[in-house]
Amino acid sequence: MTTRSLSFTMLALGLTLAFGLGLAGCAVTDPRATDRAPGALPAYAAPDRITDEAIRGDHRAMLGLRERLAMLNQNGRVATGNAHWAKAQCWLDMAQQNYHENDRSRVIEEALAESQALVDALEKGTAPNDRTPPVGNSVRLREDLWTRVAKVKASPAAACVAAQAACLEVQLVWAGHEYAEGGWRHANPYIGIAEHKADAMDRGATACAAPAVAAAPVAPIVREVLIERLVLTTDTLFDFDRGSVNDIRAAGRARLDVLAERAKGLQGIERIALVGHTDRLGSAEHNQPLSLQRATAVRDHLVARGLPAALFTVEGKGSEQPVKRCEDNQPRARLIACLQDNRRVEVEIRGRVAAPAR
């Protein structure tokens, strides 16, 4: 069961994204460990960032940058592998997701400003700035990953993975913002994505730098791997006690659209598993069908956006697998808000990867 819309986390792509990967070796320069109350704006949101005009202005800016990036790519004028084009797109992705999460801090306009500066330079044919500043209230996390980016950028293979390195830097800034906003629970999935991007970047750099030598063919080992895991907060997608595809809110549709585009860009996908969950309020006879209905609605929307229906499996777990416990001795509205994390649709994207036999 659900209540009013909250944030878009993550996806977006809330999207709380969850890779479930560890944060060992993290370095934090400005630790904040408190989580925001459901539905609350960030404590550092400026009053002028929550006006209707500011919200409309952000939306216009995102649409304009999206169109300008597409025009730059027309006829191969600027390739998607260009580091500055890719970084502009990744800054825009960060702004869009935080916009749909209703984060009204300065992170949206600052991420958009970074994207726009890169687009301006590309359109004029001038050398773009290679900076990656800490937008919003981002704190610096994972010095080990920053070091890996710097090492690759200084290597002979830099040109091969320039776009990947650029977006990894943006992802680390994004993770730092999520940490500042909500602590490790918010930052963990974004750090997981950064680790995934860093591994892919290193693999690409290694392949680029490797000398071309004739090697005896070896039989590949093919195994299924988890490509990406996301958690969609159903309060963002649906109104209270609603669950059909026609009930998905506009903000929820936007987030699912981002997820569909992201999935189309991933290689080797063989299966997308959707599992719906509810909170413990209400009867099992009501909650189990509702959880299945919502997972099915997510599938139907993604299929309508071009993903093959055969990729999907859909399941409803009702209230059997809560991720948060809340005391009953509190007002019902507060209890419903406390239980929000349990109302979710989990998304697992899996594929098969071939590696040489050893």
Stretch among 221-235, 248-262, 294-308 having the lowest mean pLDDT: 221-235
Q: How far apart are alpha carbons 2 and 281 in whole angstroms?
A: 9
Q: Is 125 left (phi over 0), alpha (psi -120 to 50) or beta?
A: left
Please check the confidence at residue 241 and state whether its pLDDT lies above 80: no
Q: What is the torsional sign of CA 211, 145, 100, 280?
A: positive
For residue range 309-324, what is the model confidence (pLDDT) as tens digits? 998 999 999 999 998 8
Specify the pLDDT at position 43.
45
What is the enclosing helix (H) or strand (E) of 165? helix 162-182
CB 262 within 8 A of CB 13: yes
CA 303-55-85 angle, 5° bins: 65
Specify the pLDDT at position 8.
31
User: Could you tell me the two tokens for 111?
Assistant: 């991420």
Q: Which carries the bigger pLDDT value, residue 131 or residue 228?
A: 131
Specify the pLDDT at position 49.
67
Stretch among 117-131, 153-167, 219-233, 265-279 having the lowest mean pLDDT: 219-233
Please check the confidence at residue 9 and state whether its pLDDT lies above 90: no
CB 298 within 8 A of CB 246: no
Q: How far apart are alpha carbons 301 and 147 in whole angstroms?
A: 40
Under the banding of pLDDT at 50, 70 and 90, the label for residue 303 is very high
CA 178-261-296 angle, 5° bins: 90
Please check the confidence at residue 267 and state whether its pLDDT lies above 60: yes
Q: How far apart are alpha carbons 114 and 111 in whole angstroms?
A: 5
Specify the pLDDT at position 357.
45
CB 345 within 8 A of CB 237: yes
CA 67-71-76 angle, 5° bins: 145
Helix (H, G, I), strand (E, B) or coil at 67: helix
User: Could you tell me the two tokens for 41?
Assistant: 């704006």
Q: How far apart are alpha carbons 48 and 56 in whole angstroms?
A: 12
- Average pLDDT for 151-165: 89
Q: How far apart are alpha carbons 13 and 263 in whole angstroms?
A: 11
Show the DSSP H helices in 44-82 as ranges.
52-73
Please check the confidence at residue 292 and state whether its pLDDT lies above 90: yes
User: Could you tell me the two tokens for 101?
Assistant: 């999460």
Burial 291-309 (b: 16+ CB within 10 A, else e): bbbbbbbbbbbbbebebee
- Average pLDDT for 260-279: 87
Under the banding of pLDDT at 50, 70 and 90, the label for residue 295 is very high
Smallest CA-to-CA distance from 251 within 228, 264, 231, 234 is with: 234
Please check the confidence at residue 217 and state whether its pLDDT lies above 60: yes
Specify the pLDDT at position 173.
92
Please check the confidence at residue 214 and state whether its pLDDT lies above 60: no
For helices 162-182 and 83-100, angle between their N-to-C axes, nearest 10 degrees: 20
Q: How far apart are alpha carbons 265 and 89 in whole angstroms?
A: 14
First to last CA, the chain: 49
Average pLDDT, the chain: 79
User: Could you tell me the two tokens for 110?
Assistant: 């600052």
Helix (H, G, I), strand (E, B) or coil at 48: helix
Q: Which residues pair with 351 in a beta bridge?
A: 225, 269
Q: How far apart are alpha carbons 170 and 176 in whole angstroms?
A: 10
